[in-house]
Every structure is written in structure tokens, then in C-alpha cells.
Amino acid sequence: MSTLKVTDETFERDVLKASQPVLVDFWAEWCGPCKQIAPVLDQIAEELSGRVTIAKLNIEDSPSTPGRYGVRGIPTMMLFKDGQMSSMKVGAMPKAKILEWLTETGVSA
């Protein structure tokens, strides 16, 4: 499964009401570090398919959701479980660090 594009309109359905954990990547087209981690998140989406959904939300196309969750810098990754934000990381990280974070939060790697 590849990454899932979410918007302000689909956030509740695709993230908050999801049956499995969802990692949301808040990003923008002009953000260099965001582009840097995009292929890594695509790989993780494939490797952990069925255990976690990797979703991407463009902060310029959908500004109200990042505002609601206090996103101040990008890339920001938030992990949602059972409709609640359970963990957050700001900044680009290597694949190993993202997988380590997911393991620490209970998403098996």
C-alpha cells in the first residue's frame, strides 16, 4: 500500500476513524526536508502495510488541520491511534529513526 493523501475534508474519516494507527506527514511542496523523507515514507508504507497507514497532508492545500494540531514546522509527523494523536516528531529523520519511533509507540516494525 502506498501513502494516502488526506485533506481537511477527509482527515476525520481517514485518520481519526481509522481501524489501525496512522502516521500523518504534514508537508508542503516548497519544503526540502519534506521531499527528502517522502521516498522513505513510501518505503515504510509498503513494508508496514496492514500495521500502519502512512498519510500525507499538504499544509497549504489543507490549512485547518495543521492549525488544529499546532503544527509549527514541517515536516511534522504525528501518529494517531484510536482517534487520538499519540506521538509527534518534527523534522526529517532517516528511515531507521522513523522505524525505531514506530516500534517505541507500539507499531511493530
* Residue 31 is a catalytic residue: yes
* Residue 34 is a catalytic residue: yes
Task: Give the span between the Cα atoms of 102 and 47, in whole angstroms.
Answer: 12
Rounded percentage of the chain residues whose pLDDT exceeds 70: 97
Taking only the tens place, the pLDDT of each residue in 35-88 is: 999 999 999 999 999 999 999 999 999 999 999 999 999 999 999 999 999 999
Tell me which of 22, 34, 44, 102 is the catalytic residue.
34
What the chain holds in terms of domains, given with CATH numbers, is 4-100 (3.40.30.10)
User: Which of 2, 26, 98 shows the shortest CA–CA distance to 107?
Assistant: 98
Query: What is the H or E stretch that residue 20 is in?
Result: none
Orientation of helix 32-47 relative to helix 95-104, angle to 10°: 60
CB-side neighbour CA atoms (13 Å) of 1 = 13
Tell me which of 18, 23, 24, 31 is the catalytic residue.
31
Helical H segments across the chain, by residue range: 11, 32-47, 64-68, 95-104
